Structure 1
Amino acid sequence: MEIATYVLVVAVVLMYGSLEARFKRMERRAARLERKTDLILDHLGVRQEEPGLERVTALLRENKKIQAIKEYREVTDADLKEAKEAVERMDGTRG
């Protein structure tokens, strides 16, 4: 019985590692696609306003970037890094 338990634990650990690697690859791919989409929109001169982010845009116009990042996090439940990158894209300060 103990051997079966150890085999099961090893199998679960290996599956978790495989799934984690797959999720990281998917996240990187989604980020690349988002950057490419942003470049296309910039090239076409299209500004994308996401619903619910009017306050973030207003804060950026007032040069209140930190408050804009905080507001973005509240609205979207994004983590700090994701919110900072998104606000920088909105502001046009990130290449």
Structure 2
Amino acid sequence: MTYIVVLFALVGAGMLFSAMDRKIDRVERRIRLMERRQELILRHLGIEEVDAPDLREINELVRQGKKIQAIKAYRELTGAGLKEAKEAVERLPGNV
């Protein structure tokens, strides 16, 4: 009998964590979408970020096809995480 209770508790916990994980994924996707829309609006209006980092070196690395070095340089310059830096570098003009 005790095993059944433990089994049900584990299954319930697993379902709860799975549901929370799906909800977190949805929220993260919505945040990324909102950030992208914000970027598009600012670009359309011709507004640049006030504290925008100088990306000349990173743009040059992208033009040279050195994507990994560009991501590393972006991370060092901005303190961004790997995923964020990769996405930012992929959005730069000249990226192939």
CA contact under 8 A between 1:41 and 1:47: conserved in structure 2?
yes
What are the ranges of 5 or more consecutive residues in structure 2 without an aligned counterpart? none
Q: TM-score, normalised by structure 2?
A: 0.73
Query: In structure 2, the residue corresponding to 1:76 is in which secondary structure?
Result: coil
Between structure 1 and structure 2, the one with the greater Rg is 2
**Matching residue of 1:73:** 75
| Number of aligned positions between the proteins | 87
Aligned AA (1:76): A
Shift of 1:48: 2.1
Which residue of 57, 60, 64 maps to 2:58? 60
Cα distance in structure 1, aligned partners of 2:51 and 2:5: 51
Cα distance in structure 2, aligned partners of 1:16 and 1:93: 41
**Matching residue of 1:23:** 24
1:38-66 CA distance string (max 9 Å, x none): 11111111122656x44xx13134x1022
What are the ranges of 5 or more consecutive residues in structure 1 without an aligned counterpart? none
CA contact under 8 A between 1:72 and 1:78: conserved in structure 2?
no
Q: Which runs of 4+ in 1 moved over 6 A?
A: none
Shift of 1:14: 0.2
% identity of equivalent residues: 33
Cα distance in structure 2, aligned partners of 1:15 and 1:3: 18
Cα distance in structure 2, aligned partners of 1:5 and 1:11: 10
- The answer to whether structure 1 residue 85 and structure 2 residue 68 are counterparts is no
Shift in alpha-carbon separation, 1:77–1:50, aligned structure 2, 3 A: farther
CA contact under 8 A between 2:74 and 2:80: conserved in structure 1?
yes
